[in-house]
Structure 1
Amino acid sequence: MVADNLLDRRSARRKTPMTRFVRNDIISLIGAAPRHDLAESVGPDLRLAELIHPDDDELGALRLGYATAAGDPKLRAAIAAQHGVAADDVVITVGGMHALFLSAYVLCGRGEEAIITTPVFPLARDALTSVGATVRPLPLRFEEDYRLDWRRLAALLSPATRLVSLASPQNPSGVGLPHAVLTGVLSAMAARCPDAFLLIDETYRHAVYDEDRAASSAALLGPQVIVTGSLSKCHGAPGLRIGWAITRNAALREQIMLGKFSTVIANSTVDEMFALRVLAQAEDIIDARRRHLSDTLARTAAWVEDNAGLVAWVRPDAGALCCVRLRPDVFDEAAVARFYAALGRLDARVGNGTWFGEEPRVFRLGFGLLPVWELEAALDALTAALQQARRSAA
């Protein structure tokens, strides 16, 4: 009888769906790309040939053993130099998402509270829900250019808050968080939840335009701050799965390092070697991308102006992405659905706002991946989809 009951319980458990990780349609970005891809959030990809030198003795002599759990010391020093911190403050992770997940796993137990703003990169939110945290979102409004009022965020803080997770610039909007906003958040946290941590994902910090200077890193704002980043966006190297978590809190840094060791042991030595080469060329790489992003942002701005009767946008502070909204007075819900259907017929895509917790009439437009001439063609396809959806409504 006991054995039968045990089998019954096991059978019941097998019928329970596994829902720890939530599916989001943003996963389509790592599938086959359409002809006109305006959904991506990256710039042009680096090519391996740009990192391999003639007679590359270093590559041939590289030992394919385990790297260290914290990451290659030279690589940590190079990352630290970009943030004004010590190398020992840096833990190398397998991409920026690994850093976000480890921070959530270490800091947020089941039922403990984490605060985010929306719209938000869905994997940043899902890392928190997957560890059982109670996520309290603060919606930011398109009409207010997705600007964060730290006083509104402070109203969500409580003694149960363990983590406030933000990004600057934000994904999907490209809107940055000024220093005064971050210090306001930290001041409120010190008063209401002094043991909580503020995480700032700075993945797009160096993806600036024209003569703009990259904002200063938040890594020096205090020991209750975590900064995450990666080589995926500004440097064009998402194929090198290299990210990082930076904190001046020694106990937290130790836990992130142990979490990394317990999940992946170490990064690839090959990835770390090439990452160091990317950072050695970082100034040239980022300058070239600055020129590209300046050109493609200008073209996107012109497209928005040309279609002002159909769409509005929030101009980004940095990054290869922005948010565009279909005008409510022109597109009802049915017309919004027709717009996405028309994009599919035209072999084009954008990032549906629902991926990020926004309404579907808002979409993320990625203007950094394509060469200018391909961006022109993609924007023409976008215009055609708008016209088709509008004509059908008429």
Structure 2
Amino acid sequence: MIAAPLPDFRLERYFSRWEFAATHHLTASDAETLTIRELLALGTDADRAEFDELGLGYTETWGGARLRAAIARTYSGCSPADVLVFAGAEEAIFWTMQLLAEPGRHVVVTVPNYQAMETIPRAAGADVSGVLLDAADGWRLDLDAVRAALRPDTAIVAVNFPNNPTGAVPDQQTWRALVELCTERGIRLVSDEVYRGIELDPAHTLPQAADLSPTAASINVMSKSYGLPGLRIGWVACRDHAVLERLERHKHYTSICSAGPSELLAAIALDAGAWIHERNRGIIAANLPLVEAFFARHADLFDWSQPDGGCVAFPRYRGAEGVEAFCRDLVEQAGVLLLPASIYASDLAAGPVDRFRIGLGRRDPAPALAAFEQFLTTRRPVR
């Protein structure tokens, strides 16, 4: 259990200042959302009637039967019994990473990452090592580096693909080799897969870890590729039921259960998942030429590469003042929000310090890009 104070969650601290104050949220990590009306329209008449008459009592801690069945259908080798629902992905990460790490055990995480993936097991008493994705080679996952980081007491290898913030996805051969490596060594693979499903190239869509390994834990959520963060529905899929039972007992101390309306709406969305993902891929595909043209016009200041998957990318800023000052001035002077590299800094491995995260999943980035461009031509001197 958590034994040490948790550090500030840098991303959430930054968002608490700017997410709703900035005019243009150009760093959003989720795809374009739907309204409740639009989402209900994807369901049946029976779904809409059920929503209208839904009682607002407690729900099952494991998640309702319909929701767990809908989640299980997104896997090829998992049943509803292999699914535990959480209040978003963060609760799932919170319990999974501390309970499976255990004090004194060793954990390997890829860097850059979602901060909780490394800070939670460290606060729980685990010894955590980082494996840096290779920025010079398209953020490649170096399997030899993972293998070299393993120890006899390694309990977990934790990864996030498509990666936040880089959008990187390993090739299929490397991914399957990672799963096999963990299985052979008796190490549990914890796979954050929240951006899976909106890859523009189907070859970049990886099999889910829980489908490939009987011990791996796949974490997913309605927030990112489905664009429904307001539902606060996430889950862990794992065929090791002892793990799920342990997680469920600890969930009693946090959310206990999910909101009934959210569970029903999430089930409707999952049943319409193919349509929602296709819609969101279309938004990303429409946005990419605009973003690429913007960075091409300013190639003296930025190095851009398209992400393999997900709806975020991590371009380089080449200006003399550095990316931290640049992002600060951009939001303060032009109201355009980006996330500087410091948000993704890690104590485990020294990643690039000249990058920023940009989002590609929201509709109509043109006004934000126009404000961005105006800033580049009229910005005041750096303080």
Instruction: Tell me how far apart the structure 2 counterparts of residues 392 and 93 of structure 1 sit (CA, whole Å).
Output: 47
Could you tell me how far apart the structure 2 residues matched to 1:59 and 1:336 are? 47
Q: Distance in 2 between matches of 1:341 and 1:276?
A: 40
The whole-number CA distance in structure 1 between the counterparts of 2:218 and 2:168 is 17
Counterpart pick for 1:185 among 157, 178, 189? 178
Deviates more, 1:342-351 or 1:297-306: 297-306
- Structure 1 window deviating more from structure 2 (179-188 vs 40-49): it is 179-188
1 CA distance for matches of 2:326 and 2:304? 17
Cα distance, 1:310 vs structure 2 = 1.5
Contact 2:302 2:315 in 1 (8 A): yes
* CA distance in 1: counterparts of 2:59 and 2:98, whole angstroms: 23
The answer to whether the 8 A contact 2:103-2:124 is kept is: yes
The number of equivalent residue pairs is 366
Structure with max Cα Rg: 1
For residues 106-125 of structure 1, give each alpha carbon's deviation from its aligned partner in whole angstroms, at most 9, with x where no partner exists: 21122322111111112322
Are the counterparts in 1 of residues 107 and 157 from structure 2 also a CA contact under 8 Å? yes
1:321 to 305, 312, 325: 312
In structure 1, C-alpha distance between the alignment counterparts of 2:199 and 2:289, rounded to whole Å: 13
1:185-223 CA-to-partner distances (Å, cap 9, x unmatched) read 2343345x42x2101111111122277774332222112
Q: Is residue 2:10 matched to residue 1:24?
A: yes
| Superposed CA offset, 1:17-61 (max 9, x none) | x83243314433354241121121112121111234679431233
| CA distance, structure 2, for counterparts of residue 124 and residue 384 of structure 1 | 37
Alpha-carbon distance between aligned partners in 2 of 1:212 and 1:140, rounded to the nearest angstrom: 20
Q: Deviations over 1:101-141 (max 9, x none)?
A: 11112211223221111111123223223323222111223
Tell me the CA shift for residue 337 of structure 1.
4.5
- Which residue of 110, 123, 132 maps to 2:116? 123
Question: 1:265-344 to 2 correspondence within 5 Å?
Answer: 265-327=256-318, 331-332=319-320, 334-343=321-330, 344=332
Residue 70 (str. 1) matches residue 58 (str. 2): no
Percent of aligned positions that are identical: 27
Mapped to 2, the partners of 1:338 and 1:97 lie a distance apart of 29
Greater shift in the superposed pair: 47-56 or 375-384? 47-56
The whole-number CA distance in structure 1 between the counterparts of 2:50 and 2:11 is: 41
Is the 1:173–1:314 contact (alpha carbons within 8 Å) kept by the matching residues of 2?
A: no
* Conserved? CA contact 2:169–2:204, under 8 Å: no
Deviates more, 1:69-78 or 1:354-363: 354-363
Q: Does the aligned pair in 2 maintain the 1:37–1:349 contact within 8 Å?
A: yes
Aligned mates of 2:30, 2:218 — CA distance in 1: 20
Give ranges in structure 2 of 5+ residues lacking alignment: 346-350
1:59 and 2:55 aligned: no
Give me the whole-angstrom Cα distance separating, in 2, the residues matched to 1:289 and 1:183: 27
**1:387 deviation in Å?**
5.0
The AA in structure 1 aligned to 2:49 is: D
**Separation of aligned partners in 1, 2:327 and 2:142:** 32
8 Å contact kept, 1:109–1:131: yes
**Alignment partner for residue 383 of structure 1, among 370, 373, 377?**
373
Q: 1:157 to 1:261 in 2, by over 3 A?
A: same
Q: 8 Å contact 1:342–1:388 — kept in the other structure?
A: no
For the residues of structure 1 that align with 2:328 and 2:63, how far apart are their CA atoms?
45
Q: 8 Å contact 2:183–2:213 — kept in the other structure?
A: no
Alignment map for 1:77-156 (pairs within 5 Å): 77-84=69-76, 85-156=78-149
AA in 1 matched with 2:327: Y
Superposed displacement of residue 338, structure 1: 4.1
Q: 1:97 to 1:58 in 2, by over 3 A?
A: same
Task: Indicate if the aligned counterparts of 1:26 and 1:351 stay in contact, CA closer than 8 A.
Answer: no
Q: Is 1:348 aligned to 2:339, yes or no?
A: no
TM-score by length of 2: 0.88
Q: 2:222 aligns with which of 225, 228, 231?
A: 231
Match of 2:30 among 42, 53, 67: 42
CA gap of 1:100–1:236, structure 2 versus 1, over 3 A, is same
Cα distance change on mapping 1:73 and 1:40 into 2, 3 Å:
same
Q: Give the TM-score, by structure 1 length.
A: 0.86
Q: Is the 8 A contact 1:115 1:164 kept in 2?
A: yes
2:349 maps to 1:363: no
Cα deviation digits, residues 62-99 of structure 1 (max 9, x gap): 23222112111121111111111211111111111111
Note the C-alpha offset of 1:183.
2.8
Equivalent position SS for 1:63:
coil
